[in-house]
Amino acid sequence: MASVSVKEQPAYPKTLSSIVASVGGLALFLILASTILVSQPIGSTVRGYFYGVDHSREIDSIFTLNESVSTVSTLNEPVSSVSTLKESVSGFNSQHDDGGSITIGGGDGQETVVDKKQTPDSQDKNELSSLRQEEIKNLKDESPHSNISQQETGNKSSALPEFTEGDENAPSNNTQTELKDAVTSSPTANNRSQSDVVDSGCDLYHGKWIYESTGPLYSNNSCPIITQMQNCQGNGRPDKDYENWRWKPSQCDLPRFEAKKFLELMRGKTLAFVGDSVARNQMESMLCILWQVEVPKNRGNRRMQRYYFRSTSTMIVRIWSSWLVHQTSEPFDFAPAGVTKLHLDAPDEVFMKYIIDFDVIVLSSGHWFAKQSVYILNNEIVGGQLWWPDKSRQKKIDNIEAFGISVETIVTALVTHRNYTGLTIVRSFSPDHYEGGAWNTGGSCIGKVKPALDSELVENGFTNIMHKKQVTGFNRAVKKKTNKSKMKLMDITESFSYRHDGHPGPYRSPDPNKITKRGPDGRPPPQDCLHWCMPGPVDTWNELVCEVMRREFEDRQNIAS
């Protein structure tokens, strides 16, 4: 009888309920784990992986500015609701003769030793030649899509002895009708902005100059980047006491600049100086102070100067912007090609596209409004400086009104930019000290070796009225603020009206044969009484900048805590 083999029965899976319990437990674990990863500090990495977003700010050790253009509704269009515009057009009825136009030194970026044979363009190229050689060598692969040569070189004009018409070193030929009220008005302190001038702490802008034997923060020999025309000691100026006067606010002390503390304050941040050659003067002062503790890496290019301090990932930037508003040389209405046209109601897009990369911006403008230019407002030619071909047409605004409008335009653009959250410091109008005439009519600052006493102070009507227009434009603009940025007016105009001793004067060149004394007929030699010696009073501007920044950053930390 055949035997029957019985096969072993196979093992069956667990019950259905066991399976469901296992799957549910695994799902619960995954959910809890995902929640913990996203919510904890590692969450920024996880969010970046899953969503492509990381809101933490990364400090790039090889800092490069964002080349993409920031979208601003006002870049190529007039700034909306500029309250000055209609008032200026409708309220200005004075007739002005071009020959008697007010001309104060126009910032043309010509900071090298002036050669009578040189054009403004060639002088400017000499100023930047050594810098650009290094820039081009280091940045061959960088392909700029903008060029600042048009802004930085200024307008070519007929040569004058040592100066050109509207030159930055040239101050004003004051017309009495425009300045009568300014000369007899109250001091510039009465024009001070009522908002944001005084931050936490005391008023920094009322005080006096005191002599301090400690000496300057650097010397002309310890800073290799001083523009030659402001290297007064290197150019043979015999006195040095102008380096030793410090500003003392009435109710507190202005801290002496400490470079290491400043760099720590600016850790991971970018400070940009934007404007004319007076902005360059201040930027070089800042670099000279910082140079004493760390030599920066030059990361500049043909768009801007950039100096990187590796120890704290701090960047100091300078961008040239003559008027801070949009400009073009293209033909417009009855203004031909070649003459600079200023769209007073549109900001300068050359630097506006970079502002979201800046933590602090210091603005400088005013002196270029003496240069030849055409003023356009609401798409209409409303005035001009050193240009008005049709005498049958009436000018609606002059260069002083144009300056006030430009200030309101650029400040409005900054305080309404949706992505700009930085601190902007508007440095007030920097006074010149050409006494006894204009730059080309015998004006001089020779022999000034200490700050002026009250009895020696010479009222400068043009400076006063330019300051007044600047403050008015600033105050109108800050009322329109819609973003999280901060806007401060650094009002140095009154305090620096006493510093007639701080300019290069005739010591603009190392030429041993230069003329430094008056001639037999009493006429003074050509000189610069607009820019500031380095070291010198200009270093005080950066001590003020440092204190304004310290107060602002501390306020932010207190609010955050």
Which residues are catalytic, by number? 277, 528, 531
Exposure of 455 by Cβ count < 10 A (0-12 exposed, 13-18 middle, 19+ buried)?
A: exposed
Indicate the burial class of 484 (C-beta count within 10 angstroms; 0-12, 13-18, 19 or more).
exposed
Residue 498: both structure tokens together: 């006493």
Pairing of strands 380-385, 297-298: unpaired
Q: Which residue's structure tokens are 């081009």?
A: 136
d(CA 540, CA 557) in angstroms, rounded, equals 26
Pairwise CA distance, residues 530 & 114, whole Å: 15
DSSP letters, 279-334, are HHHHHHHHHHHHHTT-PPEE---SS-EEEEEGGGTEEEEEEE-SSSEEEE-S-BTT
- What are 489's strand-pairing partners? 426
Cα→Cα distances 244→131, 145, 218, 257, 540, Å: 30, 44, 11, 14, 11
Cα separations in angstroms, 251 against 200, 202, 206, 469, 550: 13, 6, 8, 28, 18
Are the C-beta atoms of residues 171 and 438 closer than 8 Å to each other?
Answer: yes
Q: At what angle do helices 176-184 and 461-478 cross, to 10 degrees?
A: 80
Length in residues, the chain: 561
Q: What CA–CA distance (Å, rounded) separates 127 from 419? A: 34
